[in-house]
Amino acid sequence: MFSLHLMRKFTADFVFPVSSPPIKNGVVVTDDEGKILEVASPPNPLSFGEGEMQYYPGIIVPGFVNAHCHLELSHLKGVIPEKKGLDEFIMGIESLRAASDEEIISAVEKADAEMYRNGIVAVSDISNTNHSFQTKAKSKIHYHTFIELLGFHPSRAEHAFEKGIQLEKELNRKNVSLTMHAPYSASISLLKKIKKYAEENHSVLTMHNQENADENLLFINKTGKILKRLEALGIDASFFEPTGKTSLLSVLPHLPAMNKIQLVHNVYTILAEIDVAINYNPNLYWCFCPNANLYIENRLPDIQMFYDKKLNITLGTDSLASNWQLSIPEEIKTIRENFPFIPFEEILKWSTLNGAQLLGISEKYGSIEKGKQPGLVHIMGIDEKNFRITGQITAVRLI
Ligand SMILES: [Zn+2]
């Protein structure tokens, strides 16, 4: 039940429900907990006539779903130099992970608060450790934790998997999946374990995919910087047989064929691979973190190509180790600047409803619809003729 006096009414120049077309001067009525009671378009009278209306210049959208983040890397903000390439980046992370627990946890708390302020209501978050677990448990944001398993050498598979099971227990096996980090960091033995477990538990998976060109080189002909890095780390790669195929096509047959799987980055993915991949698994999601790609490699994926294929696309911020901020509007802005033919409304869907569907939480999140509790965000800095972003974009959470 709701009490009428705590009911709230919001209006803006445009309301974007996402699940239906934008409404000029639309009105959203919520109860005191933010549950949507009504979405109205003028001149239709409101069923809930009482109460004062709050007007916001600009647009109102549902809360964002950040489809890819690593909260536990938040203490690395500004530490790793920009535009040096993924290899330098990973080496940088490895040498810098060694911070105190207090430093890491305090940065995690700050990042969670930053996302909340920026209108993010749900996050797909990667964990290698339990540093972020307490923050996530008490946060007002909904988190799904992807425990990331790494093990290039087949002899590591058992240990990596068991470590993941332990971390999963710490989360009471709720809103959590065990998943692979990337094709180049998982042996076939490890992928088999992950596949079996995911199929048994009907879990959603995610994997970093083709973030840089060396990932393909490793699989095609066993060359490139990843191989050098493995050697530098003292990891034996002598067992590894190149497949002659790209990294994505090499691991595809070892992934579940029906579970939802989100592939993250896709900077070097080409059209022919997409066709093979969606034929193998029709439930793939393609996640972009454009600002992280600019930060690390200064190169963007061909997002237009993915849009033209009408794929399930999601948006993420990646971590503060490879981004300047954790803000979905900043990611939207980068896409609009670089791919001006992709409509704003479409990118908004990637940032909200698609991420909610990936995580199986679209009953509550992702669109402004009666009965949902998606959060509301007020955005300014978008011109109202063609929804171009004119300069500075600001997003403030309303509820
Ligand atoms: Zn990532």
Q: What is the pLDDT of residues 27-66, one digit of tens each?
A: 999 999 999 999 999 877 777 766 788 999 999 999 999 9
pLDDT tens digits, 115-147:
999 999 999 999 999 999 999 999 999 999 999
CA dist 69 and 116 (Å) reads 14
Cα of 181 from ligand 1 centre, angstroms: 8
Cα of 234 from ligand 1 centre, angstroms: 24
Cα of 124 from ligand 1 centre, angstroms: 10
Model confidence at 19, pLDDT cuts 50, 70, 90, reads very high
Cα of 197 from ligand 1 centre, angstroms: 22
Cα of 160 from ligand 1 centre, angstroms: 18
CA dist 373 and 31 (Å) reads 10
Which of the 8 DSSP states describes residue 47? S
> What per-residue confidence (pLDDT) applies to 102?
93
Cα of 268 from ligand 1 centre, angstroms: 15
> What per-residue confidence (pLDDT) applies to 383?
80
> What per-residue confidence (pLDDT) applies to 81?
78
Cα of 393 from ligand 1 centre, angstroms: 24
When pLDDT is averaged across residues 187-210 and rounded to a whole number, the result is 98
CA dihedral sign of residues 343, 206, 276, 202: negative
CA dist 153 and 267 (Å) reads 26
**In angstroms, what CA-CA distances link 69 with 133, 175, 237, 252, 285?**
14, 15, 29, 23, 15
> What per-residue confidence (pLDDT) applies to 88?
67
Q: Are the CB atoms for 358 and 311 separated by under 8 Å?
A: no
Cα of 264 from ligand 1 centre, angstroms: 7
Cα of 322 from ligand 1 centre, angstroms: 9
Cα of 289 from ligand 1 centre, angstroms: 9
Q: Residue 352: what are its φ and ψ, rounded to 5°?
A: -130, -80
Model confidence at 84, pLDDT cuts 50, 70, 90, reads confident
When pLDDT is averaged across residues 293-300 and rounded to a whole number, the result is 93
> What per-residue confidence (pLDDT) applies to 96?
61
Cα of 69 from ligand 1 centre, angstroms: 6
**In angstroms, what CA-CA distances link 272 with 208, 210, 252, 284, 328?**
19, 14, 14, 15, 29
pLDDT tens digits, 150-180:
999 999 999 999 999 999 999 998 999 999 9
C-alpha of 31 from chain center: 29
Assess whether the previous peptide bond of 282 is cis (omega < 30° from 0): no
**In angstroms, what CA-CA distances link 298 with 89, 291, 322, 330?**
13, 9, 11, 16
pLDDT tens digits, 218-238:
999 999 999 988 888 888 999
pLDDT, greater one: 384 or 114: 114
Instruction: Give the three-state DSSP class for 154.
Output: helix
pTM greater than the 0.85 cutoff: yes
CA dist 224 and 231 (Å) reads 12
Per-position DSSP letters for 60-124, written without gaps between them: EEEPEEEEEE-GGGGGGTTTSPTTS-HHHHHHHHHHH----HHHHHHHHHHHHHHHHHTTEEEEE
> What per-residue confidence (pLDDT) applies to 92?
62
Structure tokens at 58: 């600009």
Cα of 62 from ligand 1 centre, angstroms: 24
Cα of 325 from ligand 1 centre, angstroms: 14
When pLDDT is averaged across residues 246-256 and rounded to a whole number, the result is 98
Residue 5 has pLDDT above 60, yes or no: no
Cα of 144 from ligand 1 centre, angstroms: 14
Cα of 247 from ligand 1 centre, angstroms: 17
